[in-house]
Amino acid sequence: MKILLIPRPGFGHVFTSRTLLLLIFCLWAPIQVVGQAKNATVSTPTPIGRTGNATVSSSRPRVVNIGALFTYNSAIGRSAKPAILAAVDDVNKDSSILKGTKLNVIFHDTNCSAFMGTVESLQLIEKDVVAAIGPQSSGISHVISHVVNELQVPLISFGSTDPTLSALQYPYFVRTTQSDYFQMYAIADLVEHYGWREVIAIFVDDDNGRNGISVLGDALAKKRAKISYKAAFTPKASNAEINDLLVGVNLMESRVYVVHVNPDTGLTIFSVAKSLGMMGSSYVWIATDWLPTFLDSFQAPDPDTMNLLQGVVALRHHTPDSDLKKQFTSRWEKLQNDSSASFNSYALYAYDSIWLAARALDVFLNEGGNLSFSIDPKLRDTNRSALNLASLHIFNGGPQYLRTILGMNFTGLSGRIQFDYDKNLVNPAYDVLNIGGTGSRRVGYWTNHSGLSIVAPEIVYTKPPNTSASNQQLYSIIWPGETINTPRGWVFPNNGKPLRIAVPNRVSYKAFVVKDKDPPGVKGFCIDVFEAAIKLLPYPVPRTYVLFGDGKRNPEFNEIVYQVAENKYDAAVGDITITTNRTKIVDFTQPYTESGLVVVAPVKVEKSYPWAFLKPFTLSMWFVTAGFFLFVGAVVWILEHRMNHEFRGENTVSTLGRFVLIIWLFVVLIINSSYTASLTSILTVQQLTSRIEGIDSLISSNDPIGIQEGSFAWKYVVNELNIAESRLVKLKNQEAYGEALRLGPKAGGVAAIVDELPYIELFMSSTNCQYRTVGQEFTKNGWGFAFQRDSPLAVDLSTAILQLSENGDLQKLRNKWLPTQECSMQINDEDANRLSLTSFWGLFLISGIACFIALTIFFCRICCQFQKFVPDGDREDDIEEIEPVNASSRRTIRSTSFKDFKNFVDKKEAEIKQKLKKKHSDTKQQASPSSDVQPNTVH
């Protein structure tokens, strides 16, 4: 009977791991027959006593077992084994740690096999180890993690980099190397730094490969990039299979390849790529840490091998150049057992893993930790089978020991050993390497703190984080083909399929795009711009133009864009407006011409008439100006007539009069200049025949509005301006434009037309400027070429369009297809040119205040003179002197009235001053005693 196992989505490696584990338990036969007893006896070199169902240490043990699980004959294993042996030896020699307890390591070889690796790990745990160092394979780590979770044995891995192993599902898995989670984000930062949008992932289809590439996809998505294709192959793929894979990859657009494979088999990728010519210029190869690990495993890499890797960019785990690291590397030749083994970063992680287990064990024992093992009830052999399940024991002190491990904080060969909340090492960092010549050179670093940098991570982590684009720096890279110019990252796919380009089949404004009998089947301004931009690209672009529309009416441009988004066309070329809704589904190039919606209305030339000179001022302005002329004249007369003997208005003598006149002349100068300018504008400007002055007045009216057939303006005025569709009239061509405007809204036409500026310019030019735009452009748009989302061709063509604009070719094409007649685009209505009192009341206020101040000073001075001239008690004689009268008409002081003051004011200033001077001298004479008078004599 066949059993069909269908894994459910979401289970993935969990389902596979448990199935494999169950199979192993079913096939795992005991090495020796163990009697059925309740008390399990564990044969270990540690002096452990037995109590009940568990073996318990009576004191600090003499020997503690730690397992080591990895593939001996591998790039990582050849470096890890001597490092582990050295670490164990150093720990046992150090009297400050594990006092009286010897650390014993038990090695097991996984033989590069997931099945054998799992069996070996079970045999290792059978020996009651308190911790297992390894494995290096992420696939084996997934399976064995379920075992250690059950038996509470910490699994300290120096080589498993699968990001999903940090999940809560594996509490006893501890990683002393960096997770591929950070490496994939480093690659995403590299892709963003060089402006690439798509990459192709080449990876081994196992747990480590799939999960790492999955994280890469998430990281690229945050940078607005993506994996365009995932090229996966089996772990034991042949050269022929890899060749077929790369041939298919080479037919695609992207030229940025991320290679995430195993150190021992990854070189085959580059060997096949070299034979296919994929290691030349325009290609980008980014390798994960497997490549530096492979190269570091040899003291002197083969020149043929290095020749395959020229220009490759690779990431390597960063380890600081500390004194501890230098001392360790200096004794490396004495440590290695295999002459072919060489030093790489995994040797440091393996060495630190032993020290992490030892230091944590020392703390664990000092805190009274319990080194005891008990039988797992779930594995008890109740059915008396031959399986030796009872030999697997639970480490009772496992939870406490695990907490101790995760709480450690010390400096090892690889740097700081401390874990964060997710059980990842703190301060992750990578070296960015550029393979070239006979080795590699470091062009920068990557940290989770500040991204790409040329500053060492040890310094970067002491500063505030800064991931801004301006802070991302790397030294120059020599790319494949020995070029320092950053590759574009994509080429037109070499698969024989030309671009299918949709072109609107217009029935109006054919100067922009129109069907043509000659190849390529279309012509016009838009086509010429596109063809000129294509010629500037450094690669050929096969293309075929496909007319969109029936040729009887203008097509719906929204439908053209939607067809491109639906992959029915590769691009759309024509007078296509870049709008917000369209940019959500396609990518546009740089605009090749500006556009915007405007309102066009009919105009006429205003005829002149005899009273046109009155137009510049409103009625109130004329009245106020005339009134101020009279008022200022009166003020000047009042101020001048007492001082100016020959005052006829030609000359002013008084200071106050001059002051008032200067202010008034300033006001008159401004009014005169404004009047002249306004009259000139009114007599020369063309005036509207309708009351439409712009989009606002058009919205507020109920008149019909003309819209070009197929234009986005229809939906815009309905959705954005809330204009009723019943007011909109579709117009097919320029002739329909002119006829609708000529008829007007009362005769079945339209009051105005709303359309894009390029169409309106061409329309007005063809009608000899009989119509004009009113108001301002109320949208700012542009025309561009539409491509499918994330198309690199849109970016390259944008650069080409900018080149056309800078070198003047774009303007030449515009002059060729769109000859326009100069028309005054803006219209000012009559009322706008008229000057009202509102614009000048400030000037009149200044003039009025000046007159008021002058009059106030004048009358204050008159009053003072009047008081001096007619003092109390003597006003009658003074009045007689000023104006002699007969005796019968003499008045007393009480009869003095306003008429006296008026007569006084009417006197000339010189006469008043002479009288005051005479009166002053008479007063002095009367005050002095006469010399002829003799004093009285007293007898």
pLDDT of residue 118: 77
Lowest mean pLDDT among 184-193, 624-633, 908-917: 908-917
Q: Per-residue confidence at 36, pLDDT binned at 50, 70, 90?
A: very low
Q: Which of 167, 250, 246, 173 is nearest to 214 (CA)?
A: 167
Return the higher-pLDDT residue of 266 and 213: 213
Q: Per-residue confidence at 388, pLDDT binned at 50, 70, 90?
A: low
Number of other CB atoms surrounding residue 602 within 10 Å: 20
The CATH label, of 3.40.50.2300, 1.20.120.80, 3.40.50.300, 3.40.1190.20, for the domain at 180-322+428-471 is: 3.40.50.2300
Mean pLDDT, to the nearest integer, of 484-497?
Answer: 80
pLDDT of residue 270: 95
Strands 451-453, 439-447: pairing kind: antiparallel
Q: Is the peptide bond before 135 cis (omega within 30 degrees of 0)?
A: yes
pLDDT of residue 903: 73
Segments making up each domain of the chain, as ranges: 63-177+339-418, 180-322+428-471, 503-592+781-822, 596-604+686-779, 612-642+658-684
Burial (Cβ within 10 Å: 0-12, 13-18, ≥19) of residue 725: exposed
Read off the amino acid at residue 477: I
CA–CA gap between residue 760 and residue 640 (Å, rounded): 64
Is the distance from CB of 850 to CB of 659 less than 8 angstroms? yes
pLDDT at position 92 over 50:
yes
pLDDT of residue 30: 37
pLDDT of residue 637: 78
Q: Which H or E run contains 717?
A: helix 713-719
Lowest mean pLDDT among 467-476, 594-603, 641-650, 777-786: 641-650
pLDDT of residue 836: 62
Q: Per-residue confidence at 837, pLDDT binned at 50, 70, 90?
A: low
pLDDT of residue 163: 93
* DSSP-based helix, strand, coil % in the chain, nearest 5: 45, 15, 40
CA–CA gap between residue 333 and residue 317 (Å, rounded): 22
pLDDT at position 16 over 90:
no
In CATH, which superfamily holds the domain spanning 596-604+686-779?
Answer: Periplasmic binding protein-like II (3.40.190.10)
Return the higher-pLDDT residue of 344 and 158: 158
DSSP 43-67: --SS-EEEETTEEEESSS-SEEEEE
Q: Tens of pLDDT along 101-118? A: 999 999 988 877 777 777
Return the higher-pLDDT residue of 495 and 467: 467
303 Cβ contact partners less than 8 Å away, ≥ 6 residues apart: 438
422 Cβ contact partners less than 8 Å away, ≥ 6 residues apart: 166
Q: Per-residue confidence at 608, pLDDT binned at 50, 70, 90?
A: low
pLDDT of residue 26: 43
Is the distance from CB of 514 to CB of 524 less than 8 angstroms? yes
CA–CA gap between residue 717 and residue 699 (Å, rounded): 9
CA–CA gap between residue 621 and residue 831 (Å, rounded): 14
Q: Tens of pLDDT along 318-353? A: 999 999 998 888 888 777 654 455 678 899 999 999
pLDDT of residue 131: 94
Q: Tens of pLDDT along 658-691? A: 788 788 888 888 888 887 877 676 666 545 555 7
pLDDT at position 32 over 60:
no
Percent of the chain with pLDDT over 70: 80
Number of other CB atoms surrounding residue 203 within 10 Å: 24
Q: Per-residue confidence at 736, pLDDT binned at 50, 70, 90?
A: very high
pLDDT at position 219 over 90:
yes
Q: Per-residue confidence at 404, pLDDT binned at 50, 70, 90?
A: very high
Percent of the chain with pLDDT over 90: 45
Mean pLDDT, to the nearest integer, of 601-625?
Answer: 72
Mean pLDDT, to the nearest integer, of 564-593?
Answer: 94
The helix/strand/coil state of 355 is helix
Return the higher-pLDDT residue of 821 and 430: 430
CA–CA gap between residue 480 and residue 633 (Å, rounded): 92
Mean pLDDT, to the nearest integer, of 790-817?
Answer: 92
Mean pLDDT, to the nearest integer, of 456-480?
Answer: 93
Buried b (16+ CB within 10 A) or exposed e, 364-399: bbeeebbbbbbbbeebebeeeeeebbbbbbbbbbbe
The helix/strand/coil state of 198 is strand
pLDDT at position 167 over 80:
yes
Q: Per-residue confidence at 875, pLDDT binned at 50, 70, 90?
A: very low
pLDDT of residue 604: 65
pLDDT of residue 689: 53
CA–CA gap between residue 54 and residue 385 (Å, rounded): 22
Q: Per-residue confidence at 797, pLDDT binned at 50, 70, 90?
A: very high
Mean pLDDT, to the nearest integer, of 899-928?
Answer: 70
Q: Tens of pLDDT along 692-713? A: 888 988 999 899 999 999 898 9
Helical H runs in 367-425? Answer: 398-406
CA–CA gap between residue 153 and residue 125 (Å, rounded): 8
CA–CA gap between residue 515 and residue 503 (Å, rounded): 9
Global pTM value: 0.67
pLDDT of residue 442: 96
Q: Tens of pLDDT along 620-661? A: 888 888 888 888 888 877 777 767 666 544 667 777 777 887
CATH of the domain spanning 63-177+339-418:
3.40.50.2300
pLDDT of residue 869: 67
DSSP tag of 254: B
Mean pLDDT, to the nearest integer, of 870-897?
Answer: 47
Placement of tokens 């490969």 in the chain: 209
pLDDT at position 48 over 90:
no
Facing residues of 444 across strands? 432
Q: Tens of pLDDT along 406-442? A: 999 999 999 999 999 999 999 999 999 999 988 899 9
pLDDT of residue 46: 37
Placement of tokens 């200022």 in the chain: 632
Return the higher-pLDDT residue of 331 and 525: 525
pLDDT of residue 344: 84
- Average predicted confidence (pLDDT) for the chain: 82
Q: Fold identical between 63-177+339-418 and 180-322+428-471?
A: yes
Number of other CB atoms surrounding residue 766 within 10 Å: 17
Return the higher-pLDDT residue of 64 and 123: 64
pLDDT at position 901 over 90:
no
Number of other CB atoms surrounding residue 906 within 10 Å: 9
Q: Rounded to an integer, what is the distance from CA 410 to the centroid of its chain?
A: 40
Q: Which of 57, 71, 187 is nearest to 137 (CA)?
A: 71
pLDDT of residue 750: 93
Q: Tens of pLDDT along 541-577? A: 889 999 999 888 999 999 999 999 999 999 999 999 9
pLDDT of residue 429: 96
Taking each helix axis as running N to C, give the angle between helix 398-406 and helix 345-366, from 0 to 180 degrees, rounded to the nearest 10: 120
Mean pLDDT, to the nearest integer, of 3-25?
Answer: 42
Whole-angstrom CA distances from 761 to 628, 737, 815, 864 are 48, 13, 13, 75
Most confident of 163-172, 349-358, 755-764, 893-902: 349-358
CA–CA gap between residue 141 and residue 207 (Å, rounded): 10
Lowest mean pLDDT among 34-38, 783-787, 911-915: 34-38
pLDDT at position 379 over 90:
no
pLDDT of residue 354: 95
Q: Per-residue confidence at 38, pLDDT binned at 50, 70, 90?
A: very low
CATH of the domain spanning 503-592+781-822:
3.40.190.10
pLDDT at position 391 over 80:
no
Lowest mean pLDDT among 4-13, 156-165, 281-290, 915-924: 4-13
